[in-house]
Structure 1
Amino acid sequence: MSIAFFVSGLVLVFLLGTLASYNRRGIRLRPIAIMLAVQLVLAFVLLNTEVGVALIGAVSRAFGKLMELGVTGVDFVFGGLENQGVSNFFLDVLLPIIFISVLIGMLNYFRLLPVIIRGVGLALSAVNGMGKLENYIAVSSAILGQSEVFLTTKKQLGAVSKQRLYTLCTSAMSAVSIAIVGAYMTMLEPRYVVTAIVLNMFSALIVANLINPYTVSREEDLLEVEEIGRKLTFFQMISESILDGLKVAILVAAMLIGFISLMNLIDYLFSYVFGLSFQSVLGYLFAPVAFLMGIPWAEAVQAGGIMATKLVTNEFVAMLSFKEQAAQFSPKTAGIVSVFLVSFANFGSIGIITGAVKALHEKRGDEVASFGLKLLYGSTLASILSATVVGLFL
C-alpha cells in the first residue's frame, strides 16, 4: 500500500505541476528523475538505516544542547517571570533563536558557511544539471532563510530572467531557516525536521522544473555571491546577529498572537453559524490531498485541517495545533504531516519574499508579486512531494 500511495502522491504532484506549467513541452524529465531518485535514497538512509538514525540523533542532540544553552541566557534575564515547572513558549522556544542566530553569524563571519553552501550547491548542480545559482539558492535558503538569502545574490537579481527568478523564490519559500530548526524540534520529531529540510531542496527544484522549465546557457550560469556582514568587525557582527535573532523571535511571536487569535475568532463564527470549526472545513477540503499522500482516510480530515492551517496562517500555528493532536494520529500520519509542515509555504511568505526582493531591486520585486500565488502553489506542491516520499518509508 505504501508504494501505491507513493505513486498516487507522485501523480498528484506531477499532474498539478504540469497543469500549471508555463511550458509543458519544455519539461525535462531526466533531471527530475535524477533528483527524485536522490530523494528516495536520502529518505531511506535517514529514516531506515543505522547511519541515518545515528546522524539524526547527533543533529537532534546538538540542537537540543544549543537550545538548552540559549535558555540559560533567557533564564538569567527572565527567570523570575516563569512559574516553576511550567514551560513558556516565548521564553523557552522563541528567545533561544537569538543564540542560534549568533552562531550562524559567527560561522558566516569566519567563511565556513559560504564554503559549505557553495560546495553543496555545485555538487547538486553537477547531479541535476540545473544552474549554479538555482542550486546555491536551494542550499543557502535552508541555512540563511527566505529573505536573507537574497542579500547574498543582490547583484544577480537584476540580471536573471523572470523564469529563473520564479525558481529562486520557490526554493526560498520551500525551505526553512536553520535558526528556527531548534524551535521546530520542540514541536515535531527531530528526524522528520531534518529529513524535510534535506528533501525540500530537491522538491522545490523538481516542482520548478515542472511549472517553470527552462535551460541556462554557460554564459548565464554565473554565481557571484556576496557574504553577509563581510565589512563588519567581529563584535559588530555579534551585535547584528543578536538583533536579527531578536527580530525573528518577536516577529514569530507577533504572528502567533495575531493568527491564533484570528483562527479562534473564525472557528467561533463557523461553529456558531455552521456547527463546524473552520479547521474542520479546511480539513474536508484538504482531505483528498492528504489521502493521496498516504494518510489513511480515517485520519485524512483531521490531518488535512492541520496542513491547510499552515497554508492560511503559518507553520508555527499549524505545528502547535499538530502537537496538541499528535497522540491521535498513527505514526505514518504523524510523519507525513510533520514533513509537510516544515517549510515557509504560506500566504504570509508571499509578502515576505516580495518585500525582500523589492528592497533590493524594485522592478524584480513587482515581478515576484505578479506570480505570488503561483509561487505559493509551487512551494505547496514541493511540501506535498517531500511528505509523499517520506510516507513510502513509514
Structure 2
Amino acid sequence: MHYLISIIGLIFVIALAWLVSSDRKKIRYKPIVMMIVIQLILSAALLNTKVGLILINGISTVFLTLLDYANEGVGFVFGGIANEGEAPFFLTVLLPIVFISVLIGILQYLKILPLIMKGIGLILSKVNGMGKLESYNAVASLMVGQSEVFITVKKQLSQLPAHRLYTLCASAMSTVSMSIVGAYMTMIEPKYVVTALVLNLFGGFIIASIINPYQVKKDEDILDIREEEKQSFFEMIGEYILDGFKVAVIVGAMLIGFVALIAGINHTFDLLFGLSFQQLLGYIFAPFAFLMGIPFSEAVRAGGIMATKLVTNEFVAMMDLSKVADSFSPRTLGIISVFLVSFANFSSIGIISGAVKGLNEKQGNVVARFGLKLLYGATLVSLLSGVIVSFVL
C-alpha cells in the first residue's frame, strides 16, 4: 500500500511543478525520468545496502570527528559557561561551524574544492540536460553556501537571462552548505542528512526542468569561474574564521527571533482558538505529509514540523523534531528528516536576492521578482526527496 501512496505522491509533486511551468511544450521528460531513477537507486543504495551504510558511517564519522576538534576550540574559549551535563545549542551546534568553514577555506585555497566542483558539475551536465554553469552552481552551492556561490560565477552573472538565473537560485535554495552539515548531524540522523544532500542535488534539476524548461545552446554553454583574490594562507584562514563565526551568530540570532515568535504566536492561537499555530499549520500540511508516505495517524504532527521549516528555518524545525522524535515511527522520522535538509524557507528569498543584488543590482531585482516561485520550486524539491525516500524505507 505504501508504494501506491508513494507513486501518487511522486505524480502529485510533478503535477504541482507542471502547473506553474513557464513553457510546458519545452519540458524534456527523458532526463527527468532518468534523474528520478538515479534518485531511487542512490537512496536505496545509501539506506538499504551494506556499502551505503559503510559510506554513510564513514562520512558521519568524519564530520563527528571534526566536531570533536571544533569543540576543543569552543571549550577553550567558553569552557565553564555551561553547567555540568548541559549542552547549550550555540556552543555545541553553531560554533563548530567556524572550524568547518576554515576547512572549506583551506580546500578552496589549495584548489582542491574548485576541481571537485568542476568535475562533478561536468558529470551532472551530461545527465541533467542543462548547461555546465547550472551543474557547477548546484555542486558549488552544496560546497560553499547559497550566497557565497554567486561570487564564484560573478563574471557571468550580468549576462544570464532570467530563466538561467532562476535555475541557479533554485539550486542554491534546494541544497545546504557543507559548513553546517555537521550541525544538522547533531540534531537528526547522519544517514538522512547525507541522503538528502544527494537527492536534493538531482531534485533541484528535476523541478527546475519542469517549472523553468529551456535548453542551453552550445555557444552559451560556458563556465567562467571567478578566481579569488590572491591572499596569504593565514589571511585566508582569518577570513574564513570570521565568515564562519558570522554564519553561527546570524543563525543564532534568527533562532532567538523565530523561536520566540513561534512561542508567542502559539500561545496567542491557543488562547483564541484552543490550538497552537503549529497545530493549525499541521492540519494544512497533513495532506502533503501523507502523500510523502507518512502514515495518516502521524501526518498532522509531521505537517506541523514541515510548515515550521517553511515559515521559519530548518534549524527551528529540526529542534522541534528532536523533541518529539520518539513519538514517530522510524519511517516517518526518516521522511521528515530528509524533507528538512534544505534552505527552502521564506528568509532564503531575501538571502539569495540580497547576495545577487550585492554583485549585480539589476539581476538582484530580477531574483526578487520571482522569489515566491523560487520558494515554491525549492519546497517541491524537498517534497520530492521525501517521496523518493518513502519508496525505500
Answer whether TM exceeds 0.5 for this pair: yes
1:254 correspondence with 2:245: no
**Structure 2, unaligned stretches of length 5 or more?**
none
What are the within-5 Å matches in structure 2 for residues 226-305 of structure 1?
226-228=226-228, 230-305=229-304
Distance 1:172 1:132 in 2: 15
Contact 2:35 2:206 in 1 (8 A): yes
Contact 1:145 1:177 in 2 (8 A): yes
Q: Secondary structure at the match of 1:80?
A: coil
Contact 2:121 2:136 in 1 (8 A): yes
Distance 2:28 2:35 in 1: 12
**Structure 1, unaligned stretches of length 5 or more?**
none
Distance 2:127 2:284 in 1: 37
Q: What amino acid does structure 2 have at the position aligned with 1:329? A: F
TM-score (norm 2): 0.99
Deviations 1:24-43 (A, max 9, x none): 11111011011111111111
Distance 1:242 1:55 in 2: 29
Contact 1:108 1:227 in 2 (8 A): no
Contact 2:128 2:205 in 1 (8 A): no
Look up the match of 2:327: 328
Root-mean-square deviation over aligned CA pairs: 0.7
What are the within-5 Å matches in structure 2 for residues 126-137 of structure 1?
126-137=126-137
Distance 1:301 1:143 in 2: 34
Deviations 1:304-324 (A, max 9, x none): 000000000000000000000
Deviations 1:83-139 (A, max 9, x none): 111111111111111000000000000000000010000001112221101111111
Look up the match of 1:382: 381
What are the within-5 Å matches in structure 2 for residues 97-116 of structure 1?
97-116=97-116
Look up the match of 1:38: 38
Q: What amino acid does structure 1 have at the position aligned with 2:140? A: S
1:5 correspondence with 2:5: yes
Look up the match of 1:341: 340
Return 364-373 or 134-143, whichever deviates more: 134-143
Distance 1:249 1:70 in 2: 13
- Cα displacement (A) at 1:227: 3.5
Contact 2:285 2:303 in 1 (8 A): yes
Contact 2:129 2:215 in 1 (8 A): no
Distance 1:105 1:146 in 2: 16
Q: Secondary structure at the match of 2:220?
A: coil
Q: Secondary structure at the match of 1:392?
A: helix
Look up the match of 2:91: 91
Deviations 1:317-376 (A, max 9, x none): 000000001110001100000000000000000000000000000000000000000000
Look up the match of 2:65: 65
Q: What amino acid does structure 2 have at the position aligned with 1:321? A: D
Contact 1:193 1:338 in 2 (8 A): yes
Contact 1:114 1:227 in 2 (8 A): no
Q: Secondary structure at the match of 2:153?
A: helix
Distance 2:31 2:160 in 1: 21
Deviations 1:206-225 (A, max 9, x none): 00011000011001100011
Indicate the percent of aligned positions where both proteins have the same amino acid. 60
Distance 1:357 1:26 in 2: 27
Distance 1:241 1:135 in 2: 25
Distance 1:123 1:275 in 2: 53
Distance 1:205 1:53 in 2: 26
Look up the match of 2:181: 181
Q: What amino acid does structure 2 have at the position aligned with 1:81? A: I
Deviations 1:265-298 (A, max 9, x none): 0001100100000000000000001001100000
Q: How many residues align structurally?
A: 393
Distance 2:3 2:131 in 1: 32
Contact 1:147 1:356 in 2 (8 A): yes
Contact 1:70 1:99 in 2 (8 A): yes
Look up the match of 1:48: 48
Q: What amino acid does structure 1 have at the position aligned with 2:343? A: F
- Cα displacement (A) at 1:61: 0.7
Superposed structure 1 runs of 4+ greater than 3 Å apart: none
1:221 correspondence with 2:218: no
Look up the match of 1:16: 16
- Cα displacement (A) at 1:2: 3.0
1:367 correspondence with 2:366: yes
Look up the match of 2:141: 141
What are the within-5 Å matches in structure 2 for residues 346-361 of structure 1?
346-361=345-360
